[in-house]
Amino acid sequence: MIKRIAHITDFHFEETFPIENGVDAHKNWKVVLDDINNRNIDEVICTGDIGDQASIQPFLQSLSDTGFTPRITLGNHDTFSEVDEFYKNSLNQGVRELYYSFEEGSFKYIFLDSSADEVSQTQVDWLKNELKTGLRILLFMHNPILDCGTVLDQRFPLKNRKQLNEVLQECSQEITMFCGHYHMADERKENNIHQHITPAISYQVTKLPDRVEINNTTFGYRIIEVDENSISTEVVMFSSENY
C-alpha cells in the first residue's frame, strides 16, 4: 500500500520580510491546501518556520478543518513554547524541544528540532540510538545538512551540520532526508544520505553561490510516496500570478 505525504515548509506568516517583498503567504497556503485536498494525501508533515505566534493556531485549524493532524518539526523562526501551546505530540522525547520517531512498515521516521540553528547534543545522543535499526530511515528536519553550493550554506547553515553528517554516515541504513530552510528545490546525495530540500510556501530564493536573490512569484510543496520497498517524490510548484 502506497502512503502519500505532503511535505510543507517555510510559511513565514505575518513576518515583515515577506510582506515587504509582496508575498501573501496566507493566499499561497490556501492554494497549496486546496491542492493537497485534491491529491489523495494521507499525511501532512511540516518542517517549520510557521510564522508569527498569532498564526500558529489558525494554521493548525486550517489543517484540522480538512481532516489532517500534521506532524511538525521546528525551524529557526519557531520557538517551542509558542508552538507547544497549540500543538501536542504524544511521541515527543524532549522537554523544551520537539523531536520524536515512530516505525511504520519497512521504515523508521525520525523528526529533529533545529530551531536553535543547531541540533542539541541531547538530540544527537538520542539520534545515535535511533539509528541502530534494520529499517530504512526517513528523516525530517528544518535545516539541510549537505552543502548545496549556495550563499545560504555560508550565511545560514545548521551550526553543527558537520557533526550530524558524521553521525548519519555512521548508520548502516540508507537515510532519505527532507528539509526546508533554503526556500528552493534541491536534491543531492552523499554516501548513504539522500537529501531533498522542499520549496517554501512563502517565497523562493534563487540558487546562487554569491548572493541572495528573492523570487516572490512562485511557491510550492513536495509530495512523498512511500511503499513497502521504495520512496519517490515530486515537487509541486505554483505561480502567484495565476491566483
72-84 pLDDT per residue, tens: 999 999 999 999 9
- Domain range for 189 is 3-242
Instruction: Give me the half-sphere count of Cα atoms (radius 13 Å) on the Cβ side of residue 12.
Output: 24
Q: Are 5 and 190 in contact (CB under 8 A)?
A: no
* Percent of the chain residues past pLDDT 90, beyond the cut: 98
> 136 pairs with which residues across the strands?
107
The CATH number for 105's domain is 3.60.21.10
Task: Please write the tens of the pLDDT for every residue from 94-115.
Answer: 999 999 999 999 999 999 999 9
- Phi-psi bin for 116: left (phi > 0), alpha (psi -120 to 50), beta? alpha
Q: Are 9 and 25 in contact (CB under 8 A)?
A: no
The identity of residue 8, as a single letter, is I
Closest alpha carbon to 158 in 197, 119, 200 = 119
According to the 3-state scheme, what is the secondary structure of 77-145? CCCHHHHHCCCCCCCCCCCCCCCEEEEECCEEEEECCCCCCCCCHHHHHHHHHHCCCCCEEEEECCCCC
Look at the chain and report how many structural domains it folds into. 1
- The CA-based angle 33-187-42, given to 5 degrees, is 30
228 pLDDT band (50/70/90 cuts)?
confident
Q: Are 8 and 41 in contact (CB under 8 A)?
A: no
Q: What is the mean pLDDT of residues 171-183?
A: 97
pTM of the predicted model, to two decimals? 0.98
Reading the block at residue 175, the C-alpha cell is: 537515510
52 pLDDT band (50/70/90 cuts)?
very high
Does residue 243 carry a pLDDT above 90? no
Task: Please write the tens of the pLDDT for every residue from 187-207.
Answer: 999 999 999 999 999 999 999
